[in-house]
Amino acid sequence: MVLTPEEWVRQHFVRFLIDKKNYPASLIALEKQLTINNRKKRTDILVFNSKGNPEIIVECKAPSIKITQDTFDQIARYNLKLKANFLIVTNGLEHFYCKMDFENETYIFLKEVPNYK
């Protein structure tokens, strides 16, 4: 596998989830495929809870890529299908952590990633 700038961000974020936030590696999937509107898409990082349901979707961008509303729209489209509780967007330099508010169809920005329970 080629270590692209985006892959570098992905690998470092996975290490962060495992080493600092105590997520078990066995609950983390990389490039998990899903189908949206008959199109195949892939999540960069998908973290499952202990029941096997999607808990966190992480969208990784290269450090040179500015995080925009389009980036959030992309991960939000994935989440219409996956129904994860948390969305994270990172380019390795900037990190945005959100908790879903399904009742109001929005997300709430958090200061950090929740620790694994």
Question: What is the span of the domain harbouring residue 49?
Answer: 5-110
Where residue 24 sits, what CATH number does that domain have? 3.90.1570.30
Number of domains in the chain: 1
Q: Which tokens belong to 87?
A: 């969305």
Q: In 7-26, which positions are buried (b, 16+ CB within 10 angstroms) versus exposed (e)? A: eebbeebbeebeeeeebeee
Place of tokens 């450090």: 63
The answer to whether residue 85 sits within a structural domain is: yes
Place of tokens 């990784």: 60
Q: What is the pLDDT of residue 1?
A: 60
Q: 45 and 14 in contact (C-beta within 8 Å)?
A: yes
Alpha helix positions (H), 20-115: 69-82
2, pLDDT greater than 80: no
**pLDDT, greater one: 46 or 37:** 46
pTM recorded for the entire structure: 0.92
Q: What is the pLDDT of residue 99?
A: 95
